[in-house]
């Protein structure tokens, strides 16, 4: 797990590097305040697939640095231009305390832009990402955003859950959020044999904690 320690915690997301036998996987790419690619070490010639769980700013900032990109088909058109209305990059401009250390002396959050990163591979529910020795099934987990996906290794119960579920504050009040869809996602997550969930924010959670969080969400949002 990598992260951007000097970014305000509201926008500080987890970046996951999963080493496979044949290819490596990168799940989400942070804000892109500093170059991410030099921090990701892969053996020469080994392909790296960078997957964005959704198009929000704190998950796609450095996506353009990687040549082989995948993301949810439902949000795919946004990756071609990274418009503010999909990424919410505008929220970060002039955000008080955007960063606690400047990447360079003349850096200003007001100049923050996300470079376009068109997707080579469009992911749908049920697609499989095969790393050679392990594989991940794409789960469509809408609610936080319409296209949000998770990547689930059913054989060992590992879920990369993006912002659909994690141990931090779950955001369901963005313009593209949908609480009805989010409730359905929570019901689905409760039924999955998840052993550990590595989310887009906060510390990883075990399956028991994940189901508690989902049940708590449903109690608060289901009538």
For strands 158-162 and 196-199, give the pairing: parallel
Stretch in the footprint of Zn ion (CB under 5 A) among 51-59, 62-70, 104-112, 118-126:
51-59
- Residue 51's region, left for phi above 0, alpha for psi from -120 to 50, else beta, is beta
| CA 117 – CA 140 distance, rounded (Å) | 21
> Which of 131/186 has CB closer to Zn ion?
186
Min dist. Cβ of residue 145 to Zn ion (A): 6
Q: What stretches of 42-186 adopt beta strand conformation (E)?
A: 48-51, 69-72, 121-123, 128-130, 135-140, 149-153, 158-162
130 to each of 22, 112, 133, 197, how far by Cα in Å?
A: 8, 34, 8, 19
| CA 50 – CA 48 distance, rounded (Å) | 6
Min dist. Cβ of residue 163 to Zn ion (A): 4
Min dist. Cβ of residue 194 to Zn ion (A): 20
| CA 50 – CA 20 distance, rounded (Å) | 13
Question: Taking CB under 5 A as the rule, does residue 73 contact Zn ion?
Answer: no
Stretch in the footprint of Zn ion (CB under 5 A) among 16-24, 118-126, 157-165, 182-190:
157-165
The neighbouring-strand residues paired with 135 are 130
> Which of 91/122 has CB closer to Zn ion?
91
Min dist. Cβ of residue 111 to Zn ion (A): 22
Among 12, 56, 64, 198, contact with Zn ion (rule: CB under 5 A):
56
| Residues shown for the chain | 223
> Which of 28/153 has CB closer to Zn ion?
28
Stretch in the footprint of Zn ion (CB under 5 A) among 20-28, 30-38, 126-134, 158-166:
158-166
- Encoded tokens for 191: 């039924």
Using CB under 5 A as the binding criterion, the count of chain residues that bind Zn ion stands at 2
Contact string (CB under 5 A) for Zn ion, positions 99-138, x = contact: ----------------------------------------
Min dist. Cβ of residue 210 to Zn ion (A): 17
State CA 107 to chain mean position distance: 25
Contact string (CB under 5 A) for Zn ion, positions 162-181, x = contact: -x------------------
Residues that bind Zn ion (CB under 5 A): 56, 163
């Amino acid at each position: 797990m990598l992260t951007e320690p000097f970014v305000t915690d509201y926008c500080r997301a987890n970046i996951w590097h999963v080493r496979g036998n044949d290819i490596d996987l990168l799940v989400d790419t942070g804000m892109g305040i500093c170059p991410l690619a030099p921090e990701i070490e892969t053996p020469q010639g080994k392909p790296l697939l960078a997957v964005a769980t959704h198009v929000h700013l704190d998950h796609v900032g450095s996506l353009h640095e990687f040549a082989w990109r995948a993301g949810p088909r439902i949000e795919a058109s946004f990756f071609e231009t990274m418009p503010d209305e999909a990424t919410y990059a505008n929220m970060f401009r002039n955000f008080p305390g955007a960063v606690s250390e400047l990447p360079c002396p003349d850096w200003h959050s007001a100049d923050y832009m996300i470079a376009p990163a068109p997707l080579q591979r469009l992911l749908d529910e049920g697609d499989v990402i095969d790393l050679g020795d392990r594989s991940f099934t794409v789960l469509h987990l809408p609610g936080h955003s319409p296209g949000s996906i998770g990547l689930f290794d059913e054989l060992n119960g590992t879920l990369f859950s993006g912002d659909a579920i994690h141990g931090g504050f779950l955001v369901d009040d963005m313009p593209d959020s949908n609480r009805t869809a989010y409730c359905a996602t929570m019901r689905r997550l409760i039924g999955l044999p998840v052993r550990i969930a590595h989310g887009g924010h906060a510390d990883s959670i075990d399956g028991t904690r994940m189901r508690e969080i989902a049940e708590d969400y449903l109690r608060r949002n289901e009538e």
